[in-house]
Chain A
Amino acid sequence: MKTEIRGARVVDPASGRDEAASIFIEAGKVAAIGKAPASFRPDETIEASGLVACPGLVDLSARLREPGFEYKATLESELRAASAGGVTTLACPPDTDPPLDEPGLVEMLKRRAWSLDCARVHPLGALTVGLKGARIAEMAELTEAGCVGFFQGNAPLPDFATLLQTMRYAATFGYTVWLRPQDASLAAGGVAHEGEVATRLGLAPIPVVAETVALRTLIELMGVTGARVHLARLSSAAGVALVAEAKARGAALTCDVGIHHLHLSDRDIGDFDAQCNLSPPLRDPSDRDRLRRALAEGTIDAVCSDHTPIDDDAKQVPFAEAEPGATALELLLPLTLQWGRESKLGLVETLGAVTHRAARILGVPAGTLAPGAHADICLFDPSRSWVVQPQALASQGKNTPFLGLELTGRVVRTLFAGRTVHTA
């Protein structure tokens, strides 16, 4: 099968390419960009003038809810959402039920995803058995089954000794440890950023020190253990400062931010809008602004959707009882584009944060249009506006703080391994 995509503006952040060109696809791979390979006769020609063609997005965190939470979402529904959002590579956290702590579970998930054949699904294994923070998970076995890193999710580790040993064990094999920088005791019971909004609304606070204390500890333990760490979901300006400092000293550290935290702050909670119950909490507007800059500067390596499909029953409850999270796979592109526009970045820099920069963290071949790469391509109309409404979302999760809002930038077609898996 040979395909030619004609007339698109090709943006490949990995190479810095940004030009009108044709993309030639053969056998699921990018064969060439610009000039057709010798004797290339396309079986299919995709007319894409007015559209941007970029590598399929790489999302560092998308909850697919299987196994265990099929009433919230299924692999079918969420991979459909991924395709609709232009996402072709994603990492899924291990916080399923049971958690991804056994090779069999990981293999089954990979097989299910493979049979749906529309995205590269890279599971993150549980850092500890059952995410309980007691026994180290079988990291070598899980890696063999396909895990690209080990994550404790939002579940706490009971003490520094456990953290130290899991990091040390992972470092033995060079595995990446993913950690949420949030000290469990300082965050205990909290549901909103400690500040004026939480005080007014009488919501139990999560102070910024919950993040900075955790970061200082992690950075300290990285030095001792030599573990490679990926920090999931930075939330504060003070946290950014600590990461920048550690990176300047050469720490083997990467970090990401959730897309909501680039656009929202605790002010958006308004009158207890449970859609804004997220983890980590939305913080002060000054924190949000710092996160935006840090992503542009590269202190933060990538932005992710932190996609969490949640059923209405879990959101239509008082704020503190609501399940944290939001559906976001289909909002990742327009919200990233908006961040880029507002930060006065070009498309190369903007899309880099959701393509090759994210792929590098996962250590997987994705997020690029280099010849020979998988032909995972997102074609989007950068000026098409759409309103976030339940019926506009393929995800089974319809809950997001952006419901009712108009966003600009809509995926028109998604190709996975050269094959169209979504059109709009």
Chain B
Amino acid sequence: MSPMTRSNLQVGPDGRLKHLLTTEGLPAELIRHILDSADQFVSVGERDVKKVPLLRGKTIFNVFFENSTRTRTTFEIAAKRLSADVINLNVGASSTNKGETLLDTVWNLQAMDADMFIVRHSQSGAPHLIARHVKPGVAVINAGDGRHAHPTQGLLDVYTIRHYKKDFSGLTVAIVGDVLHSRVARSQIHALKTLGVPELRVIGPKTLLPAAVERLGVRVFHDMAEGLKGCDVVIMLRLQNERMNGALLPSAGEFFKCYGLTADKLSLARPDAIVMHPGPMNRGVEIDSPVADGPQSVIMPQVTFGIAVRMAVMSMLGSA
């Protein structure tokens, strides 16, 4: 018996994007459309007047139930470049502490005629819950929920890969580190699988890989040297401070020794491999400074592209 058929909350019957909640299940065509559209927006950032009027008159709420300066800022910049009115709310510090429920908070903001919510929440699935309860026409963008998804990050990463590698069909991509707690890794995996990457690997100790991860279509490696061989793209994940010393890992030092990306280890990948990191980096924990700042690193372009990709997503949702 299956009482719930998996509803498609984010793509309407007409194939248009209604919300962006996860990269899982997004059709390849739609992803390509977002990436193509982001191409146009990259140039906006290079102009003197970095603004286009696409979302003029629209009100966008950046609702962060979990603190994040960086992601919130990139969404804010993207919205402002699209000429939207942006309101930043750090809800973690206000209403939920007064006992207001998540949905009450959202309904209150909706009553202020919000057109779009950008939501970050520590609980997996919170943006889905919100998307299910907002008025038709109000869009929700997931800016990171628990361990589940961070779709704009996943999309900016595939944008970056496409920018440098042009084509996904022959690529070997490795994602290294704390996959267990990483919403970024999940969003990357779904997007890259959909776009046809033939060899997708995850590398990490058994304590930092989630159960049945191979069912997501990845090959599992515990030996980093083995896993990096022949890679075109190496994506390093951030190791949260609180995971470094505990039951999952003995120490940051030992993690770096086994899974930190050094120039030596990188030399096992293809010579033209690119190195990515969603930030913020822990230098000397998951990545060595010479690699982070080296010629193969595309970490800074990722940040730049991130704004374009978010503009692309917001413009698609805001003009619906």
Contact = CB atoms under 8 A, between A and B. Distances in A.
A263 interface: yes
Given A268-B2, A271-B7, A318 B211 contact: no
Contacts of B146: 202-203, 318, 320
Given A272-B129, A317-B102, A405-B3, A199 B123 contact: no
B125 A401 contact: no
B12 to A, nearest CB: 15
B5 interface: yes
A218 interface: no
Contacts of A273: 4
A199 B215 contact: yes
Say whether chain B's binding surface is mostly helix, strand, loop, or mixed.
loop
Interface residues on chain B, size class? 20 to 34
A404 B2 CA distance: 12
Given A273-B4, A318-B126, A319-B123, A199 B9 contact: no
B170 interface: no
A270 B103 contact: no
B3 A201 contact: no
Contacts of A263: 1
Contact of B211 (A207, A271, A321): A207
Interface stretch (A56-64, A99-107, A190-198, A352-360): A190-198
A195 B212 contact: yes
B238 interface: no
Contacts of B126: 318
A89 B238 CA distance: 55
Contacts, number: 99
Interface in B213-244: 213, 215-216
Nearest to A288: B1
A272 B22 CA distance: 12
B211 A270 contact: no
Contacts of B24: 200
Contacts of B103: 316-317
A202 B4 contact: no
Contacts of B6: 270-271
B68 to A, nearest CB: 17
B179 to A, nearest CB: 9
Interface in B75-123: 101-103, 121, 123
Contact of A203 (B1, B3, B121, B124): B124
Contact of B123 (A207, A313, A318, A404): A318
B102 A202 contact: no
A375 to B, nearest CB: 34
A318 B129 CA distance: 6
B8 to A, nearest CB: 9
A264 interface: yes
A404 B4 CA distance: 9
B211 A264 contact: no
B310 interface: no
A267 interface: yes
B18 interface: no
A207 B1 CA distance: 23
B186 interface: yes
Most chain B beta carbons < 10 A, residue from A205, A274, A318: A318
A244 to B, nearest CB: 25
Interface of A: 194-196, 198-205, 207, 263-264, 267-276, 313, 316-321, 338, 401-405
In the A-B complex, the 6 residue pairs with the closest CB atoms: A272-B125, A202-B147, A202-B148, A318-B123, A202-B124, A199-B210
Interface of B: 1-7, 9, 24, 101-103, 121, 123-126, 128-129, 133, 145-149, 183, 186, 210-213, 215-216
Given A272-B124, A272-B125, 4 more contacts: A202-B183, A316-B133, A318-B124, A320-B123
11 contacts: A199-B212, A199-B213, A200-B24, A202-B145, A204-B147, A270-B5, A271-B125, A272-B124, A275-B4, A276-B4, A313-B101
